[in-house]
Structure 1
Amino acid sequence: MFAEERQKKISELLKEQSSLKVSALTEIFNVSESTIRRDLQEMDEKGLLTRTHGGAVSNQGTSFEPSFKDKKIEGHHEKVTIAKIASSMIEDGDTIMLDSGTTTLEIAKHIQANKVTVITNSIDIAAVLSNNENVDLIVTGGNMRFTTRAMVGYITENVLKNFRVDKAFIGANGISIEEGITTPNFIEAQTKKAMMNVANKVIIVADSSKFNKVCFSVISPIRAVSSIITSGDLPQETLKNFEDAGVEIILQ
């Protein structure tokens, strides 16, 4: 196979998987790692992808960020399914961090436990929980991003440093063993990271389409995650890889 053909196929694979490893590509094309690295370097120089340690990620989509309105419509049934599982993990007296997002918004709607303290950077979650007399609500404040309706930035992160919580439920746009938990916006990634840093247990809530996707900004390595609650079909190999990495996958 000529280099041009191989590189075209690599581009097609990146559209499907968002990220690829050199080791996997050597097996697919039955060529040496140096050949694949040369292909990736040439494609990087042409702006067709971005080289990473041990592989490459797609340029198309790493910085794409759907709006809160768009995400609220898409996959609503899956979000509710994930939310019901997540809310069942919240016990009486728990202290909880709820990241801003459409899946975490559904979690807020399904909280049944009593005397729960919830800290959130979401005005939408705050509005829902303001009607729940069993919840002690703390809103972080900060600069609100129009796209995601999340409060982020210095004020938000400074407030978060004052707390320690039992569980943090965090949304993500990309989940990868190699690249970790990612999201398109750098500032939002830092706020999510601040939430994770003060939690005893970090639980990622995201549907299966987020697996093996890599976005622009890294929130954390996969080892910082306790569990991932998801829905949909995941290959057994993927489940085993996450299990080997010490991450519990709760699949509905």
Structure 2
Amino acid sequence: MDSATRQQRIVQRLRETERLEVADLALELDTSEVTVRRDLDALASAGALRRVHGGAVSLLLRGEELPFALREIESTPAKERIAQTVAGLLSDGEAVIVDSGTTGLAIARALVGRRLTVVPLSIPAAHVLSASASTTLKVPGGTSRFGEGSLVGPMAEASLRSLRVDTAIISCCGLSPTDGVTAYDDVEAATKRAAMSSARRTILVGEAAKFSRTALAVVCEVTDFDVLVTDPDAPADAVAQIRQAGVDVLGV
């Protein structure tokens, strides 16, 4: 088991219990206590836990968004497949909004080298795309959320309202046919809506884990999107319901 998988397992356990013991984790993960201590130290640096003698105490609040560094290692293969699929849906010459978040960052990486005009809604995505000579980069204004680098708020919304793009690629914190598309931050939800209103086509991206989560702020209904790109582990009943409502669902 690699370090990213172990740390994901530890984070899952932190959602279930307030304290974890090194010895118990070593048995559960079939690894050494030295390796578990290194993983706990890495997660402590990311803000997920506090190290105590013999183990760790959770710092994750129920329903709270995971730190960006932890989300970046969560469902990484699925995010990369989603990113490559989304890149394949875009034609050279398009103007595209790429949303913030770890999936948005994966998509930005997949677009490097493409002949596109890209409006990134995060500083990390802008940094990745700035190295591409063939990409025209349009960076909106806005407030950067600490720890996330996402660009949100009235300045970002005004910038987006002044544009008309071919495609908006929107990430989410949770999605379901009943609760819709949700985000942890209401200001970020408003920025996503502004991005969608500026686009002729909207693509929602979210790996299977997003179907089991509902965050605080409602962005919109899932049916407001033209395409949903997810992975094969997404719940079949929810996928069928979304398809029946007229959304093109791609499980990759």
Structure-1-length-normalised TM-score: 0.72
Give the superposition deviation at 1:229: 0.7
Q: What value does the CA root-mean-square deviation take over the aligned residues?
A: 2.1
Amino acid at match of 1:66: L
Distance of aligned partners of 1:61 and 1:233 in 2 relative to their CA distance in 1, 3 Å threshold = farther
Distance of aligned partners of 1:164 and 1:244 in 2 relative to their CA distance in 1, 3 Å threshold = same
Q: Distance in 2 between matches of 1:125 and 1:156?
A: 15
Specify the alignment match of 1:141 in structure 2: 141
Q: Deviations over 1:117-157 (max 9, x none)?
A: 00112111111111111110011121110132201101111
Specify the alignment match of 2:132 in structure 1: 132
Q: Do 2:203 and 2:229's aligned partners in 1 also have CA atoms closer than 8 Å?
A: yes
Q: Do 1:95 and 1:166's aligned partners in 2 also have CA atoms closer than 8 Å?
A: yes
Q: Is 1:216 the equivalent of 2:216?
A: yes
Distance of aligned partners of 1:65 and 1:195 in 2 relative to their CA distance in 1, 3 Å threshold = same
Specify the alignment match of 1:28 in structure 2: none
Q: Distance in 2 between matches of 1:235 and 1:219?
A: 21
Q: Is 1:207 the equivalent of 2:191?
A: no
Q: Deviations over 1:54-77 (max 9, x none)?
A: xxxxxx988511121111121111
Q: How many matched pairs? A: 195
Q: Distance in 2 between matches of 1:139 and 1:78?
A: 27
Q: Distance in 1 between matches of 2:65 and 2:213?
A: 13
Q: Which has the larger displacement, 208-217 or 231-240?
A: 231-240
Give the superposition deviation at 1:236: 3.1
Q: Deviations over 1:174-193 (max 9, x none)?
A: 11112211011111111111
SS of residue paired to 2:111? coil
Q: Do 1:98 and 1:168's aligned partners in 2 also have CA atoms closer than 8 Å?
A: yes
Q: Do 1:62 and 1:216's aligned partners in 2 also have CA atoms closer than 8 Å?
A: no
Distance of aligned partners of 1:90 and 1:62 in 2 relative to their CA distance in 1, 3 Å threshold = farther
Distance of aligned partners of 1:209 and 1:113 in 2 relative to their CA distance in 1, 3 Å threshold = same
Distance of aligned partners of 1:250 and 1:113 in 2 relative to their CA distance in 1, 3 Å threshold = farther
* Runs of at least 5 residues in structure 1 that lack an aligned partner in the other structure: 1-14, 16-59
SS of residue paired to 2:178? coil
Amino acid at match of 2:99: D
Give the superposition deviation at 1:114: 4.3
Q: Deviations over 1:149-175 (max 9, x none)?
A: 201101111111110111111110111
Specify the alignment match of 1:188 in structure 2: 188
Query: Identity of aligned pairs, percent?
Result: 32
SS of residue paired to 2:69? helix
State how 1:27-42 maps to structure 2 within 5 Å: none
Amino acid at match of 1:135: T
Give the superposition deviation at 1:233: 1.4
Q: Do 2:112 and 2:129's aligned partners in 1 also have CA atoms closer than 8 Å?
A: no
Distance of aligned partners of 1:61 and 1:193 in 2 relative to their CA distance in 1, 3 Å threshold = farther
Q: Distance in 2 between matches of 1:247 and 1:147?
A: 33
Q: Do 1:92 and 1:113's aligned partners in 2 also have CA atoms closer than 8 Å?
A: no
Amino acid at match of 2:110: H
Specify the alignment match of 1:163 in structure 2: 163
State how 1:55-204 maps to structure 2 within 5 Å: 63-111=63-111, 114-204=114-204
SS of residue paired to 1:155? helix
Give the superposition deviation at 1:212: 4.6
* Runs of at least 5 residues in structure 2 that lack an aligned partner in the other structure: 1-14, 16-59
Q: Distance in 2 between matches of 1:163 and 1:224?
A: 19
SS of residue paired to 1:79? helix
Q: Do 2:181 and 2:221's aligned partners in 1 also have CA atoms closer than 8 Å?
A: yes
Q: Which has the larger displacement, 113-122 or 241-250?
A: 113-122
Q: Do 1:168 and 1:202's aligned partners in 2 also have CA atoms closer than 8 Å?
A: yes
